[in-house]
Structure 1
Amino acid sequence: MNDISIKKLQVVNALIENGSATNAAKMLNISPSSISYTLKKLQDQLGVPLFRREKEGLKPNVEAYSLQEQYNEVMGLNTTRKTFIITTYALVEFLLADYIHDFIREKTLHFVPMDVCENERLRKLKHREVDIDIGGRLPEDVSIISERYLYSDMCILVRENHPSIKNKFTLEDWHQNQHLRWQRDRGSISNMVDGVDASERYFNERDIAWESPNLLTLAYLCSGSDHIMMVPEVFTKSLISMLPLKSFVPPPSFEMKFKCYLHYHRALEKKISSLGLYNIFNTHLDDVLT
């Protein structure tokens, strides 16, 4: 396959990422007929079909993925670079950074703020502006791999010496105290927490004192005030070791699970696996992960 032109490889890559000749043409700013012509010439050259037509669009075969890998190598995506750009929540970044030097010595992880908009997060992954996205599950895309990274109960966090909340958290505590809200778009929250819809009336009735997309900031505010907040249980051990906080199991009415996904471009699969990101997290959170 060494004699295949970059133009043909680019067309295969665009078809894999977009699922149709029309969308691939828009991406490359050429006509759909040019896409179809180039694909036909390439399949004739190789003697094998590269895609199969399904209701959802064009689905790549093994040969197509092999050509995409070759394209990525030509474009420099799979070089032996040592820097990976990661976008995630502040608390995930905090926990990763806490142990990163013990596990990753020859690579640099560069963290950037996470966009609230899911479509923008997906766009950055597809265009290689971000290598790894750790957060709520993104819409399915043939060029992006999504793997569940964390799964955890939700809990209530309050300051250690809260004047009214002592040994148990009740629905009365929920209604009588002001809340700190982790503010992201509705779609993002739904993709991160199972059970939000069932508990929606409780969330709509909250007295919100402060909201922020930064969970670490909210935890700090919680530790110095009488406000309360909901947080994934998987984060509480580290927060309580750092700040004067205590956690409670929510009332029975709140049956919610936090879920977090690892997203990356398919062409980076081997590189991402070599980072051992699961090892870092599991070592640090071994006794709270479910």
Structure 2
Amino acid sequence: MKEISLKKLKVVNTLIECGSAAKAAKVLGISPSAISYTLKQLTAHLGVSPFIRKNNGLKPNEHALALQEKYHEIGALNTTRKKFIISTYSLIEFYLADYINSMIDGTLLHFITMDTSENERLRKLQHREVDIDIGGRLPKDVSIVSKRYLYSKMCIMASDNHPTINETFTLDDWQKNKHLRWQRDSGSISSMVNNMNFHTPLFREREISWESPNLLTLAYLCSSSDNIIMIPEVFVESLKGMFPLKSFRSPEALDMKFECYIHYHRALESKVNSLDLHNIFDPKPR
């Protein structure tokens, strides 16, 4: 593998990320015939083709993945990093910043706004414009590691001083109170919650008084008003520590589970694993 040039390794890496010769050629600024010629040379060198041709493009085999790993090593992607670009939600960002900052010195944590488009999130991971993405599950991609990060029941939160909600929370409470809604677009949050359907009467007929992608803002509004909010239970203790809030188990008709995933390029796997990010929350199924 030592004799294979960096240029050829780059072609393999781009083919894996793009999935087709035409797309890879466009990214590299070369012709599809140049891609084909490079693959012929690699096949001759390895004694076997590094890709399997499928109807929807080229699928890498273990030889292609080994070449990609070599490309990443040469490109120094596995050297000490001075910056991590992270895309996630506000509350997870809050805890990531606190947790990672206490572990690593001289490393810049650069948080950016998460795209609502799954394809754009995936593209940024593929091209390493984003190092770590924590959110709704993305489509499978051979160059991207995807692992379940958080799994939690959904629950209801209200102000400690709520005038009508006391020991338990009922469907009557759900229907009579105004709601705060954690939402980035029409489907980005609901897609992470099993059984959540905004078209059912329980959700469609709610009176929404405020909507935001920022869960910290919504928690503050909840604590200082009579509005209620449905959030993942995994965040409850953190929010109670910041605001005067109380939580309730959801009624059976609102029994739902939240899950989100951590995504990163496979070239960064050892670096991301060394951060041990699962210690921030306890994501074990309940």
Identify if the C-alpha distance between structure 1 residues 142 and 92 changes in structure 2 by more than 3 Å, giving closer, same or farther.
Answer: same
Residue 74 of structure 1: how far off its partner (Å): 3.1
Q: Distance in 2 between matches of 1:42 and 1:88?
A: 39
Matches within 5 A, 1:69-148: 69-105=69-105, 107-148=107-148
Identify if the C-alpha distance between structure 1 residues 31 and 75 changes in structure 2 by more than 3 Å, giving closer, same or farther.
Answer: same
- Aligned residue number for residue 40 of structure 2: 40
1:204 aligns with 2:223: no
In structure 1, list runs of 5 or more residues that go unmatched: none
Q: SS at 1:140's partner residue?
A: coil
Matches within 5 A, 1:1-290: 1-105=1-105, 107-197=107-197, 200-282=200-282, 290=286
Q: SS at 2:254's partner residue?
A: coil
Q: Distance in 2 between matches of 1:74 and 1:200?
A: 53
Identify if the C-alpha distance between structure 1 residues 281 and 167 changes in structure 2 by more than 3 Å, giving closer, same or farther.
Answer: closer
Q: CA deviation digits over 1:196-220, x for unaligned, max 9?
A: 1387332211111111111111101
Q: Distance in 1 between matches of 2:19 and 2:119?
A: 17
Q: CA deviation digits over 1:200-246, x for unaligned, max 9?
A: 33221111111111111110111101111111000001101211000
Identify if the C-alpha distance between structure 1 residues 55 and 194 changes in structure 2 by more than 3 Å, giving closer, same or farther.
Answer: farther
C-alpha contact 1:177 1:227 (8 A) present in aligned 2 = yes
Q: SS at 1:49's partner residue?
A: coil
Instruction: State how many pairs are aligned.
Output: 286
Q: CA deviation digits over 1:168-195, x for unaligned, max 9?
A: 1122211211111112223422431111
Residue 46 of structure 1: how far off its partner (Å): 2.5
Q: SS at 1:148's partner residue?
A: strand
Q: SS at 1:186's partner residue?
A: coil
Name the aligned partner's letter for residue 50 of structure 1.
Answer: P
Q: Distance in 2 between matches of 1:254 and 1:74?
A: 52
Which stretch of the first structure deviates more once superposed, 16-25 or 258-267? 16-25
Q: Distance in 1 between matches of 2:236 and 2:280?
A: 17
C-alpha contact 2:234 2:281 (8 A) present in aligned 1 = no
Residue 108 of structure 1: how far off its partner (Å): 4.4
Q: Distance in 2 between matches of 1:17 and 1:200?
A: 39
Which stretch of the first structure deviates more once superposed, 28-37 or 169-178? 28-37
TM-score (norm 2): 0.92
Which stretch of the first structure deviates more once superposed, 46-55 or 247-256? 46-55
In structure 2, list runs of 5 or more residues that go unmatched: none
TM-score (norm 1): 0.91
Identify if the C-alpha distance between structure 1 residues 197 and 157 changes in structure 2 by more than 3 Å, giving closer, same or farther.
Answer: same
Residue 56 of structure 1: how far off its partner (Å): 4.8
